[in-house]
Structure 1
Amino acid sequence: MDESRKLAAIMVTDVVGFSRLTGADEDRTLARLRAVRSDLIDPTIAVYKGRVVKRTGDGAIVEFRSVVDAVRCAIEIQNSMIERNAGVPPERRIEFRIGIHLGDVVEESDGDLMGDGVNIAARLEGVAQPGAICLSEDAYRQVKSRLDLAISDLGETRLKNIAEPIRVYSLQFGNATAVKAPAGATASTAPRLSLPDKPSIAVLPFQNMSGDPEQEYFADGIVEDIITALSRFRQLFVIARNSSFAYKGRAVDVKQISRDLGVRYILEGSVRKAANRIRITAQLIDASTGVHLWAERFDGGLQDIFELQDQVAARVVGEIAPKLEQAEIERATRKPTESLDAYDYFLRGMANVNHWTRATNDEALRQFYKAMELDPEFGSAHGMAAWCYIWRKLNGWVVDRARENSEGARLARRAVELGKDDPVALSRGGHAIVWFVSDLDNGAAFIDRALALNPNLSAAWNLSGWVRAYRGELDLSIEHHARAMRLSPLDPILYNMHVGTAFAHFLAGRYDEAIVWANSALREQPNFPAANRILAASHALAGHMNEAREAMAHLRELDPSLCISNLSEVYPVRLSVDLAKLVEGLRKAGLPE
């Protein structure tokens, strides 16, 4: 029989007291369960990209690509069941227990999953209270830094037919209580990120109404610029584009988005581009109540696109933060280019960058160069092109090292020269100056200026976290990565923030924590060389030589040109002791000279 072994996030669900419910009224119970599956469970599993492995009568075994997706799916199911059961007598309620584990499974030829990964998830479901979610320690480790969950540590628990005790964590909803929560443990009826102490907003992807899928990048670019305009207001907390775009193409519940992202307001809408005309419709929703605060339409010629974006941003700001300084309003309306053609190529480049593959990175670089050709003073295009060269280095895609280093340095210097009031140009250019010019002080200063101009720019906080680590400011590095994660909790390159956090812990000598963060990154992107480098070095210096050699073998497959002699090119660290620590760890793991 064909089979393959892999690591998987497994969720097991089961109805509490199903035999009692069917014994009392079988037809009604089965009808209600079918409705719950078709209306809630199956659509929610689909939204979070789960795969139903098998039905178990009143329950299911589901595989997810990540623990975060599994936990978000489980939270949405349990919260929705609380609403469905409101007013239903306790003896007739359908309530679920849910267990989630990250573990090794064997996938058979028919798609079925076997092994301890499935068994442990099933046993966790069995110890969960009605309406609760139980997580293994391996699963909890993946979400504790990414989701602000009020959770009870149930301690080491013996599960039926599982040889070793497993540490179990319980997430409660409604009236569910922990099995044996220790003193001081807390529970929550609505797990969510806490709201910031200022008006907070997420701008969802606008629907492309142009009738042409090729215009999708244009609609996305409009939204990205609206996000940028809003981000420049210090009095607002604005979720980054990469997280709000996680909802693209989904049927969404604004209250759930509010819980996921920790925001009060949601902006959604549509874009229609026809010939030389454009129409933007937008509506602002108070997600805490579901109330629509306003809906409006903005029409104009294509040459008015920047003005229309400003009108949308101004309308939002006027509604939720009316007491803004005029200087901030003027700053937010400054545009990086006056050339619509250059702007169009820049939007196409950004759409490609956000796919994070080698082919799309190459295409993005070509489009940024085209934008620069049409507007030689387009600072953001220079900064993003420099970033493309860094991304090539990070992933082992460099073809001509000397030429690319020289070009990266040229683009970086030009970006910060042109982008004096452009946070994208300053942050990307500053980061590239660190990489290609080895000027850590000026690079950090340019990123600091970008954050002063736009304190909501998640990418700049992430870049700052890396640069702070290169400078030896390790606690500040971890703090800045955490800030980036809060501004963009669903970011597709969250793994880069996790690797940055792992890097800072590694340099601080906290190897176990570095291993946890590096493994977290590798769960999402197993072929990211930076994560494999830190994992190999951390295991080696922690004395885990088998794991170190395994990580090094994978790293050598991903980046065969890396060796001790060129290590400083991917780690522009200031302190010789930090470089020596990297050399020691990677040499012990097996990196050649």
Structure 2
Amino acid sequence: MHDGQETYLAPRLLALLTYFVEHRGEVLSRDRIVESVWGHLDAATDDSVNVAVSSLRRELGDTRRPHRVILAIPRRGYRFDPDAIAPIEGDAVPAPSAPHPESGAGAGRAGSIAGLHGSGRTAGLVLGLLVVVAAVIAAVITIGAYRPDAPPPPTVGNPPADSTAHAAAPDDRKAVAVLPFLDMTPGGDHGPFADGLADRIIHMLTLSPDLDVTARTSSFAFRDASAGIGDIAERLDVDVILEGSVQRADDQIRVLAQLIDADTEMHLWSRSYDRPAGELFALQDDIANEVARTMTDTLLPGTGEPAADSQQVWELITRGRLAMDRFTLGDSEQAVAHFDAALALQPDNVDALIGLVDAIGMVRSQGPMRTAEDREDFTEEYLERARRLAPDSSQVVRALGDWHFRSNRPEQAIETYRRAVALNPNDATAHRNLGRVLFRMGRFDDATESLRKAVQLDPLFGLGPVWLADAFWAQGRAEEALFRLRRFLEERPGFAQAHDRIATYLAQSGQTGQAMRHIVRAHELDPDSPGRRFSMCEFWLQIGDDLSAEACTNTLAESYDLPFRIGYLRQIIHGFRGEWDAMERELEAIVALGNRDPLTPALLAQSYSRHDCPRALALLEERFPVLFDAPSGLTPMMLLPARTAIHCLQQTGRGDRAETLLASFSDQVERTRTEQGPWLVSGIETAWDHALHGRHEQALVALEELVEDWRYYWWGLDYYPEFAPIRDTPRFRALMERLERGVAEEREYFEAHRDAPLT
């Protein structure tokens, strides 16, 4: 109850709250919560617990940090704090009204808990704990009146609280985060110096085999935050925090460093170091070793890499790394300049060489796409120099894995990334990039494991949460994917890539108006990136505005020399308008550019299939030969070219081969139906499958089921030749009209809310 109003919890949240109340004051591990509340459901994971706890906190008004009712205990789990609430006795609570339709049958009165102590939204909250009939098992769970001074009630169907089977067992590896050191120099002009000091300490600590070390990109996110140590430790999921300050005067450096326990917020130690500036690098190593010795009773191994030979080189490398953290085109170009300057001063610096390789790759990912004349990877020279200098460096090995991946050698990339992780288990980038290549190969479970480790080590660097959201979505865990993206954007609203990805998923779930708002925001955050403007041009079509898409494309063409992207946009605009011949000519011109992109030849083959199946099959055999293997090497990423191949094999009398490929296609479609599939899955694959089997009624039903919550590439459904038998039916025309009405409503929503804050 809150201000006399009843709030009904979903059964999942009420079961979770029940368990917390029954075990109040105990630290409950995520594994224990999963098994005791959800049972052994495959979908229940650590992330399921995180989503549910966040939702329950929101219902209780326990949303402001630091949390006061459901406390996160770093690296161990959660604890329900009974001291944050007050009991309401007997008749002080109004009797609940008739059960809410969503609350389940058998709801009744069973005692209560008063609200959080304090003011604001949480004041006066009364939580009525109802009798619940769990729909899945039809078992009635009764919760008695809760009093903080009463002994814990008996558990229902769970082992006793002291059961060793579910004891909260912290990870043997300790976790540490190093916050950016404060610049206490009177002029306040030594920020890069202070950042470089902390960055080097982080790098040294990552070499410990017994520590989990939060990456710089996440710990530095708290540079200007007002959060307390406990709050930061909770968000980064660490045991201890290292913070400090730096003062520099002439040739002297004074550093104050403090190692703080996350649970108690007490100092484990505090040290003051006064050194000559020439001993900077030794000072960094001393602080890192002091941390390692305190936490693990061991010292750190050496890096074996040539260190910076001057403070100027060291500061340039630091500036380059911090610029890359912002992940925009302009910042990436600044990073290239910083690393270039460092290499001009010290050509054999491995950090600068690998930094330059990474920065160039980031520029390439956000700038023009590659052409046939631009296939030589000009970063190979820098990578080879780094390999000669430090062949066993984890960052060099990781960069080699990136090179294999860019060169379309995924198996070599996986092997190399695994070696990088073995060399340095704290290399979040290696874990993240390993997860990405596994994802691209359709190995979504393996990808999730690697990406979750990357996010554990670097929770606030956007690519990790974004790519992990991709993996969740591909496994059918859409709620967790969207939750992760939304939570990340609450903390880092300026990360453009997260806006771009959540727009894709919102569009796939029919919310194209809201999706367009995120696309516009991504462009505002990264206005120099042609990739962001490209996405905005394309998304105008998602809300049915081809004139704005065309104007956007023309502006992009005037500003950048991007023949691939401009051609792609123009062909899709032609397709939106039903100008099929013009679309095909644009696709032919794009494919002739020789890009590595696999989508455009698939689209061109699809266009040929409308009037020239032999030509379509020839193109598919050239560009997608695995489709014609026995068995085929079909993955969820290749459903579009596979669909075209099946149709044309059927049309050209190669029925046996078509049947074999169709069986693999159907298996993959079933997988995407039950697991959602990667973002390249558009949603109509089930209808394709029915149509290719000749089940036209089922195909029509599958399309009708999409209409209410699907707007993703909704135009051109009449384009696909396998839909020809249903194209002119009244039901098909009716579903197209409903789609168009829904898109028009989304466009109106966007226009009405385009300037409103994103929440």
Q: Normalized against structure 1, the TM-score is what? A: 0.60
**Is residue 304 of structure 2 the alignment partner of residue 347 of structure 1?**
no
* Aligned-partner SS, 2:301: helix
Could you tell me which residue of structure 2 aligns to residue 276 of structure 1?
251
The equivalent of 1:379 in structure 2 is: 350
Matched, 1:369 2:340: yes
Over 3 Å counting, the alpha-carbon distance change for 1:347 and 1:503 in structure 2 is same
Q: Using the TM superposition, give the Cα deviation of residue 209 of structure 1 relative to its aligned residue in structure 2, in angstroms.
A: 1.4
Instruction: Confirm whether residue 286 of structure 1 aligns to residue 261 of structure 2.
Output: yes
Q: What is the CA–CA distance in structure 2 between the aligned matches of 1:570 and 1:280, rounded to whole Å? A: 54
Aligned to 1:460: 430
- Say yes or no: does 1:483 pair with 2:453: yes
The residue number in structure 1 matching 2:68 is 78
The reply to whether residue 577 of structure 1 matches residue 606 of structure 2 is no
Per the alignment, residue 276 of structure 2 pairs with: 301
- Does 2:219 match 1:244? yes
Letter in 2 for 1:130: G
* 1:413-492 mapped onto 2 (5 Å cutoff): 413-435=384-406, 437-489=407-459, 491-492=460-461
Give the distance between the partners of 1:414 and 1:219, measured in 2 at CA. 29
**Separation of aligned partners in 2, 1:391 and 1:320:** 36
Distance 1:395 1:85, change over 3 A: same
Q: Cα offset for 1:338? A: 3.2
Task: Give the structure 1 partner of residue 115 of structure 2.
Answer: 130
Give the conservation status (yes or no) of the 8 Å contact 1:537–1:586: no
Residue identity in the other structure for 2:536: E
Q: Does 1:204 align with 2:179?
A: yes
Q: Is the 8 A contact 1:207 1:269 kept in 2?
A: yes
Partner of 1:500: 467
- 1:136-175 alignment to 2 at 5 Å? none
Letter of the structure 2 residue corresponding to residue 497 of structure 1: G
Q: What count of residue pairs does the alignment treat as equivalent?
A: 444
Three-state SS of the structure 1 residue aligned to 2:221 is helix
For structure 1, which segment, 308-317 or 458-467, has the greater mean C-alpha deviation from structure 2 after superposition?
Answer: 458-467
Q: Does 1:317 align with 2:346?
A: no
**Counterpart position of 1:261:** 236
Q: Is 1:388 aligned to 2:354, yes or no?
A: no
Q: How far apart in 1 are the matches of 2:450 and 2:147?
A: 35
Distance in 1, matches of 2:416 and 2:64, equals 42
Change (3 A) 1:537 1:332: same
Classify the secondary structure of the residue corresponding to 1:130: strand
Compute the displacement of 1:364 (Å): 0.8
Change (3 A) 1:250 1:390: same
Counterpart CA distance in 2 for 1:512 and 1:83 is: 28
Distance, in Å, in 2 between the alignment partners of 1:396 and 1:154 is: 58
Q: Could you tell me whether the CA contact under 8 Å between 1:207 and 1:270 is conserved in 2? A: yes
Per-residue CA deviation, residues 239-259 of structure 1 (Å, 9 max, x unaligned), is 222222232133443333333
Per the TM alignment, residue 222 of structure 1 is displaced from its structure 2 partner at its CA by 0.9
Structure with greater proportional strand content: 1
Following the alignment from structure 2 to structure 1, what is the Cα–Cα distance between the partners of residues 464 and 425?
17
When structure 1 is superposed on structure 2, of 385-394 and 215-224 the one drifting more is 385-394
Q: CA offset at residue 212 of structure 1? A: 3.7
Looking at structure 1, the residues matched to 301 and 495 of structure 2 have their Cα atoms a distance apart, in angstroms, of 43
Query: Given the superposition, is the C-alpha separation of residues 131 and 506 from structure 1 closer, same or farther in structure 2, using an over 3 Å criterion?
Result: closer
Distance in structure 2 (CA, Å) of the matches to 1:468 and 1:422: 23
- Looking at structure 2, the residues matched to 343 and 474 of structure 1 have their Cα atoms a distance apart, in angstroms, of 39
| Alpha-carbon distance in structure 2 between the residues aligned to 1:153 and 1:391 | 54
**2:66 partner amino acid:** E
Contact conserved, 1:434 with 1:467, CA < 8 A, in 2?
Answer: yes
Give the drift of 1:386: 2.3
State the TM-score, normalizing by the size of structure 2.
0.48
Structure 1 residues 383 and 239, CA, compared in 2 at 3 Å: closer, same or farther?
same
Cα deviation, 1:393-415, whole Å, max 9, x if unaligned, reads 44356698955862244444444
Q: In 2, Cα distance between the equivalents of 1:376 and 1:153?
A: 70
Question: Residue 18 of structure 2 corresponds to which residue in structure 1?
Answer: none
1:568 aligns with 2:597: yes
Q: Is the 8 A contact 2:502 2:518 kept in 1?
A: no
Q: Following the alignment from structure 1 to structure 2, what is the Cα–Cα distance between the partners of residues 405 and 154?
A: 68
Further displaced range: 412-421 or 78-87: 78-87
Aligned ranges for residues 45-84 of structure 1 at < 5 Å?
A: 74-76=64-66, 78=68
3-state SS in 2 of match to 1:377: coil
* Counterpart Cα distance in 2 of 1:194 and 1:401: 55
* CA distance in structure 2 between the partners assigned to 1:545 and 1:286 by the alignment: 46
1:420–1:558 Cα change, 3 Å: farther
Report the alpha carbon displacement of residue 293 of structure 1 after superposing the two structures with TM: 2.3
Q: List per-residue Cα deviations over 1:288-340 (Å, max 9, x = no partner).
A: 2333222212232333221111100111122221146xxxx333575543343
**What is the identity, as a one-letter code, of the residue corresponding to 2:430?**
A
Q: Distance in 2 between matches of 1:195 and 1:322?
A: 18
* C-alpha displacement of 1:211: 2.9
2: distance between equivalents of 1:353 and 1:513? 30
Identity %: 22
Q: 1:304 to 1:476 in 2, by over 3 A?
A: same
| Structure of higher CA gyration radius | 2
1:201/1:263 contact within 8 Å kept = yes
Task: Report SS of the residue matched to 2:322.
Answer: helix
Is the CA contact 1:342–1:375 (under 8 Å) kept in the aligned structure 2?
yes
**Offset from partner CA, 1:64-119 (integer Å, 9 cap, x none):** xx99998985241535999999699979xxxxxxxxxxxxxxxxxxxxxxxxxxxx
1:380-399 CA-partner distances (Å, limit 9, x unpaired): 22222222233234435669
